[in-house]
Amino acid sequence: MTPTNPPGDPPNDPRTGPHGAGGNSGRQRHRPAGGQSDRTKRRGPSGPPRRPATRRPPTPDEARRVALDVLTAVRSQGAYANLTLPGLLTQRRITGRDAALATELTYGTCRALGQLDGVIGACGDRAFGDLDGVVIDALRLGTYQLLHTRIPPHAAVSATVDLVRAGERPGGAGYVNAVLRRVSEADLQTWIDRLAPDARTDPQGHLAFARAHPRWIVTAVGDALGGGPTNPELEAALEADDKPPAVHLVARPGRIDRAELVALSGGRPAAYSPYGVYLDGGDPGALRPVADGRAGVQDEGSQLVATALTLPAVDGQDTHWLDLAAGPGGKAALLGALAAQRGAQLDAVEITPHRADLVRSTVRGLPVRVHIGDGRRPDLPEASFDRVLLDAPCTGLGALRRRPEARWRRQPSDVAALTRLQRELLESAARMVRAGGVIAYVTCSPHLAETAGVIGRRPPGLELLDAREYLPGVPDLGAGPTVQLWPHRQGTDGMFLALLRRPGLVVPAPVSINRPGRGLTRPD
């Protein structure tokens, strides 16, 4: 959902501060000796004097320039930083340390927008609504460098001012210089002490400013963890949203085994997913197994919840599987690979045509049929699927570390519409699954309204299974029967999983699964 206002922009109320804008209005024009003006003084018989040389705009460094351009696209066009930045780095041939700096400045600034705006507002004397957009972007970029990096203050200020002077609004350079110099007078902790609500009287407000999250997200995460703002784990959960996620690969079973993927990628076997590999560096897209579709880039949490759907035993046949909201196709590809090993077929439904194309590309060569349609009313026979995955659209609060600007773009008002959609999709899943079949309800959000709230109002006749039994070896799964994964606990995205069965006849004993890389066969 694209907001109508730039993400992170404060209300257009005047913000006053103790430091005014810089300018040149008081500078006096120089008059030559003898009272003769420059306009009339002649330098020889050739006529009027030469005009003084004008100062050329500075040439800003490319790392900061690309960071500023991405911030402008996020603010003005609703762009996604994690999709826009890689293309610009390639287009401008920015690599190595410069690419790393651009990535840190872009993603870090997007994550900290609300906090940065609070500090900028305290240091400036103009309302945000009175500033050019690029000036706002530059102020945010410069403030992030001053408060969140080890870049020397003079370098952060001068480099940011140079960006403005070389851009479309060079007149804003004086104001940017003045505000950033004021910002540089204190470190981050000092600004938190000055501007954040008192932790004793308003702990949620204090954490919201100190950890750069909207208050409503702090509340939602605290509720999901239990204990609210007094839970010491809450700060760790918020802090984890600011840590860049590791790259996880998935070895699609039947196409490549994990040991081979480890050898080809130089990675390490994942801790929990039998198909996962941790990649410590490099471009995963350059790996041949990823390029040819034998492997993919997929968070370990997504691997776990997709695999969990395939583990509970079902009575009778087990050949028809369904993914009700399949785009962009990562989970469909893993399910399709597992289905191929069992002689099953997966139907994948995606409502958006371009995302359906992504699914087709991802599952190429697997027993997967892709359908463009609404998962709430798929044009498929009801009560005919043995296993149904519902990876429901959600607020994405469990993947904030991957989508830097998302915390400021999402609004609490989004939740009601999403939970209504989630319930409607779950009702459809309940119609599509056959008696004795299994549904996996999945969200990438810990928000209780999207997790426990939806499951608590599930369609009648669906029985909850203990999902913990189908995530063997994963620690800290709570009391069950549903499971909430967390970045700060398991190192995965914040995936929620509920496994539900439509009662049928007699359910056979659980099947055994082979867990590659562990050398054992384990019952479900």
- Residues with catalytic annotation? 444
Asked whether the beta carbons of 88 and 70 are under 8 A apart, the reply is yes
Amino acid residing at 39 = R
Contact 471, 486 (CB under 8 A): no
Pairing relationship of beta strands 320-323 and 385-391 according to DSSP bridges: parallel
Residues near 517 by Cβ (< 8 Å), separated by ≥ 6?
258, 259, 269, 274
Per-position DSSP letters for 27-75, written without gaps between them: PPPP--GGG--TTT---STTSSPPPPPPPPPP---HHHHHHHHHHHHHH
Q: What are the helix (H) ranges across 324-451?
A: 330-342, 353-362, 406-409, 414-432
Tell me, what DSSP letter sits at residue 462?
Answer: P
The helices-and-strands tally (H runs, E runs) of the chain is 20, 14
CB environment 279-315: b (16+ within 10 A), e (fewer) = beeeebeebebbeebbbbebbbbbbbbbbbbbbbebe
* DSSP character at residue 493: -
Please enumerate in sequence order all residues whose Cβ is within 8 A of that of 256, keeping only pairs 6 or more positions apart, or say none.
289, 294, 295
Cis peptide bond upstream of 232, omega within 30? no
Token representation of residue 15:
């913000």
Residues 6 or more apart from 15 whose CB is under 8 A from it? 121, 122, 124, 125, 126, 127, 128
Inter-CA distances, 454 with 152, 309, 483, 493, Å? 49, 18, 14, 20
- Strands 320-323, 345-350: pairing kind: parallel
List C-alpha distances in Å: 96 to 101, 145, 312: 9, 19, 46
Interstrand relation of 433-443 and 385-391 (parallel, antiparallel or unpaired): parallel
What burial class does residue 234 get, using C-beta atoms within 10 Å of its C-beta: 0-12 exposed, 13-18 middle, 19+ buried? buried
Contact 385, 353 (CB under 8 A): no
Within 196-319, strands assigned E span: 247-251, 268-269, 276-279, 295-297
Residue partners of 16: CB distance under 8 A and separation at least 6: 125
Question: Could you tell me the CA-to-CA distances from 422 to 69, 89, 119, 416 in Å, in that order?
Answer: 36, 37, 38, 10
